[in-house]
Amino acid sequence: MMLRIKRVPTVVSNYQKEETEEAAAAARRVSGCGRNCLNKCCIQGAKLPLYAFKRVNKFKTEMGVHGHEVREPEPPVAFLDSLVLGEWEDRVQRGLFRYDVTACETKVIPGQYGFIAQLNEGRHLKKRPTEFRVDKVLQPFDGNKFNFTKVGQEEVLFQFEASEDGEVQFHPSAPIDVENSPSVVAINVSPIEYGHVLLIPRVLECLPQRIDRDSFLLALYMAAEAGNPYFRLGYNSLGAFATINHLHFQAYYMALPFPIEKAPTKKIISTGSGVKISELLNYPVRGLVFEGGNFLEDLSNTVSDACICLQENNIPYNVLIADCGKRIFLLPQCYAEKQALGEVSSELLDTQVNPAVWEISGHMVLKRNKDYEEASEENAWRLLAEVSLSEERYQEVNALIFEAIARGDDANGGVAESVIGEADAKPKSRGEVDAINKNSCPAMASGTPECLVLQ
């Protein structure tokens, strides 16, 4: 039996469309593909701006190694104002976006958390149907489907790479190093907020949507380099409303605190490398919060190890990178799974809201005027509660995560200091977890009927 959910995704590029192989071959015979894209047909000799960031060892925390204060230089203003926003505004003037996001109504919903509601009918109307699986977090890259090598070079703002000499540099026109596959920042043509961009690590390697240590470290560097608490990065895995199976992060500016950032937390554990792991309290979606670490890579490796663990166990998840990269929220979710099983009410399905990282964080992108007018903290809470794992399943998933983090910490010579007091809160063995997952996660288990979503 094949389960299907009818939904459509956001178009992130003006070139996000299917082409026949014959038409593509004919276009290449004329002159490239006619798009001036990032693929082999057009990339030879191409140049793009290059922002080279300074690779640092110490993380931007108040206290560094051995308790000594770490003084960080002020981030270059040009990265934010002149580069990201300046180049983004240039694309506005060129008419590359599918609608004017600044015309979208936005309001803060009254209540304790201050959920943010946006009426964005443009994202609802400017879409096309494609077929996308939701029961597999890891899926092989398919070059025949849309990917970011097919975007036009005019949609790319700049290359984002580590500086070779250890100093911040900007080159307005730099060759694209095809052999070393640059990481790039491009516009999202269906923006949620002002300055909405995509960070695409090692774009020419055509990596599927799966986090690895290097890619997550690159995202943390971008957050730290921006140095602006209103600039957050987000990640959606497959099965958690990523719509493109080509590795990418999203980012935009929101001059308000996200509700998830205001939620209370409770410390669970500290790793030997100084990373503190807490859990969210009194928030509709259960999740973990990571912060600290003696070095930037400590925090990055801990979170990426947790993400890799979820991927390998076929558990969909979302990530929010906040506070200039100092706080990271990891949120396993099961909304698409519940949809496939018919467990989501028609009332919630009718809103056509896909609860990905931004919605889970509290920025509710609504597509119908009715939902915007009736927006309330209660309604937001009701939707997000459907996203969350049950308490039992959440604890089992945490057991897998802590086991993976412990292995990584041990490999680096660290010793974790557990502060879990309750015996029943201790992670269970892998065998116990596998047994429970087999019984409680039928839609995501290996070997179950294929589950597709029409997006």
Catalytic positions, written as ranges:
248
Separation of alpha carbons 45 and 153, rounded Å: 12
**β partners of residue 417:** 270
CA 129 to chain centre: 22
Separation of alpha carbons 177 and 202, rounded Å: 11
Kindly state the tokens that stand for 292.
């600290």
Separation of alpha carbons 433 and 246, rounded Å: 30
Q: Is 429 left (phi over 0), alpha (psi -120 to 50) or beta?
A: beta
* Residues in the chain, overall count: 455
Cα angle value 218/221/226 (rounded, 5°): 130
Separation of alpha carbons 273 and 296, rounded Å: 10
- Give yes or no for a contact between 270 and 166, defined as CB atoms under 8 angstroms apart: no
Closest CA to 400 of 422, 429, 421, 440: 429
Cβ-Cβ contacts under 8 Å for 373 (sequence gap 6 or more): none
- Give yes or no for a contact between 279 and 290, defined as CB atoms under 8 angstroms apart: no
Stated as kind and residue range, the H or E segment containing 290 is strand 288-292
Separation of alpha carbons 424 and 243, rounded Å: 38
Separation of alpha carbons 291 and 27, rounded Å: 49
Q: How many CA within 13 A on the CB side of residue 110?
A: 2
Separation of alpha carbons 132 and 246, rounded Å: 13
Hunting for tokens 């039992």 — which residue is that? 392
Separation of alpha carbons 133 and 244, rounded Å: 11
Q: What sign does the dihedral 290-291-293-297 (CA atoms) show?
A: positive
Task: List the beta strands (DSSP E) in 115-168.
Answer: 116-119, 131-133, 156-162
Task: List the beta strands (DSSP E) in 293-392.
Answer: 317-322, 327-332, 363-366
